[in-house]
Structures are given as C-alpha cells and as structure tokens.
Amino acid sequence: KAGVTQTPRYLIKTRGQQVTLSCSPISGHRSVSWYQQTPGQGLQFLFEYFSETQRNKGNFPGRFSGRQFSNSRSEMNVSTLELGDSALYLCASSTTRGEAFFGQGTRLTVV
C-alpha cells in the first residue's frame, strides 16, 4: 500500500511569491491534515480537510490556505511568502480510527 506522497520534496522561493504544495493521501483515507515544522516552534497544526471540507484550523494567518479534491488529494497554498515561512511542511492522512500517517514533507526555503 502506497504511503502519503508529498510533492515537491524541496522548494526555494523568493519573498513575496506564492507557493502550492501537494499531498496525495493513502488510498481510502478521506482526512488530510497539514502541519508546519520549524526549529523554533516545532510541529504546528495548520488545517484538516475531510470530504473536501475544512473541519479544523490552526492559528495561522490567512496567507495559509488549503483545499481538498474529490479524490481526497489536497493542496496547501501560501501567498506573499515571508522568510519565516521557511519550514518543513508535512501532510498526514488519517484512518477512520484516527491514526495519522505522515508523508516525508516538503522543505520550503524562502530567500
């Protein structure tokens, strides 16, 4: 069974640009969550989608947004990038019982 796939693995962007990250969940998983990991703040929850609806949202500014498609694949978008947005962005898909399985992440560097 394929795991959670995140693309791209690495990305370099310039301040002010926008970026879109993609996540393909494990087949059959309808819940997809996104997390940001930085050395200073650790792992922080961004948002969670289930059946194309955002069910939960963390404490991040509106520049961070996401969506989920009918096939459960999800994207997250960050607009007007800031240096502080440099981080490892992790996607997780969850079973009906709630266990979450994480992808390898996308490492975003903003210069």
Partner 1 sequence: DAKTTQPTSMDCAEGRAANLPCNHSTISGNEYVYWYRQIHSQGPQYIIHGLKNNETNEMASLIITEDRKSSTLILPHATLRDTAVYYCIVRVDGNYGQNFVFGPGTRLSVLP
d(CA 54, CA 110): 26
Tell me which stretch binds partner 1 (CB under 8 A): 13-21, 63-71, 72-80, 96-104: 96-104
Stretch of 13-21, 60-68, 74-82, 103-111 contacting partner 1, by CB under 8 A: 103-111
Give residues 26-65 in contact with partner 1 (rule: CB under 8 A): 30-31, 33, 35, 42-45, 48, 50, 55-56, 58
Question: Least CB distance from residue 85 to partner 1, whole Å?
Answer: 18
Distance (Å, whole) CA 79 – CA 111: 14
Helix (H, G, I), strand (E, B) or coil at 106: strand
- How far apart are alpha carbons 57 and 50 in whole angstroms? 12
Which region, judged by CB under 8 A, interacts with partner 1, from 59-67, 68-76, 78-86, 88-96? Answer: 88-96
Which DSSP state fits 26?
Answer: P
Residue 4 and residue 50: Cα distance in Å, rounded? 16
Write out the residues near partner 1 by the rule CB under 8 A: 4, 30-31, 33, 35, 42-45, 48, 50, 55-56, 58, 88, 90, 92, 94-105, 107
